[in-house]
Amino acid sequence: MRRDCRANAMNRLPDNPLIRPSDVPPSRDDFEVVGAFNAGVARVGDEVLLLLRVAERPKDRPADACVAPIYDADAGKVELFVVKRDDPDVRVEDERVFRWRGDFYLTSISHLRLARSGDGVHFTVERAPAMLPEAATEAFGLEDPRITQIGRDWWITYKAVSPLGITTALAHTADFRTFTRRGVIFCPENLDVVIFPEKFDGEHVAWHRPVGKHLGAPSIWLARSPDLIHWGKHAPVLLPRPGMWDSARVGASTVPFLTPEGWVEIYHGADAGNRYCLGAALIDGNDPAKILARSDKPILRPETPYELEGFFGGVVFSCGCDVRDDGAVTLYYGASDESTCAATTTVDELLDHLGGGKT
From residue 54, give the alpha-carbon distance in Å to each of 112, 149, 189: 6, 22, 22
Cβ neighbours of residue 266 closer than 8 Å, sequence gap 6 or more:
253, 254, 278, 279, 280, 299, 318, 321, 331
Contact 34, 311 (CB under 8 A): yes
Q: What is the mean pLDDT of residues 291-310?
A: 96
pLDDT attached to residue 94: 80
Average pLDDT of the chain?
94
CA nearest neighbour of 89 among 76, 80, 98: 98
What does the DSSP 8-state code read for residue 131?
B
Q: What is the mean pLDDT of residues 96-101?
A: 94
d(CA 11, CA 21): 23
Question: What values do phi and psi take at 121, rounded to 5?
Answer: -125, -45
For residue 7, pLDDT over 70 is answered with: no
pLDDT attached to residue 3: 32
Q: What is the mean pLDDT of residues 255-259?
A: 98
How confident is residue 274, by pLDDT bands cut at 50, 70 and 90?
confident
pLDDT attached to residue 4: 35
> Using one digit for the tens of pLDDT, what is the confidence trace for 216-236?
889 999 999 999 999 999 999
d(CA 189, CA 206): 16
Cβ neighbours of residue 181 closer than 8 Å, sequence gap 6 or more:
134, 135, 169, 170, 171
- All structural domains of the chain, each given as residue ranges with its CATH number in brackets, are 4-356 (2.115.10.20)
pLDDT attached to residue 37: 98
pLDDT attached to residue 359: 55
How confident is residue 268, by pLDDT bands cut at 50, 70 and 90?
very high
d(CA 57, CA 51): 19
For residue 164, pLDDT over 80 is answered with: yes
Q: What is the mean pLDDT of residues 51-74?
A: 97
d(CA 108, CA 67): 8
3-state secondary structure of 124: strand
From residue 173, give the alpha-carbon distance in Å to each of 32, 326, 341: 28, 27, 25
d(CA 193, CA 14): 30
Cβ neighbours of residue 117 closer than 8 Å, sequence gap 6 or more:
47, 48, 49, 50, 123, 124
Residue 267's beta-bridge partner residues? 252, 279
3-state secondary structure of 307: helix
Helix/strand/coil percent split, the chain, to 5: 5, 55, 40
> Using one digit for the tens of pLDDT, what is the confidence trace for 175-228?
999 999 999 999 999 999 999 999 999 999 999 999 987 888 899 999 999 999
Q: Is 149 exposed, middle or buried (0-12, 13-18, 19+ CB in 10 A)?
A: middle
How confident is residue 8, by pLDDT bands cut at 50, 70 and 90?
low
What is the value of pTM for the model shown?
A: 0.95
How confident is residue 48, by pLDDT bands cut at 50, 70 and 90?
very high
Q: What is the percent of the chain where pLDDT is above 90? A: 91
d(CA 133, CA 56): 12
Residue 25 CB neighbour total at 10 angstroms: 15
d(CA 280, CA 350): 8
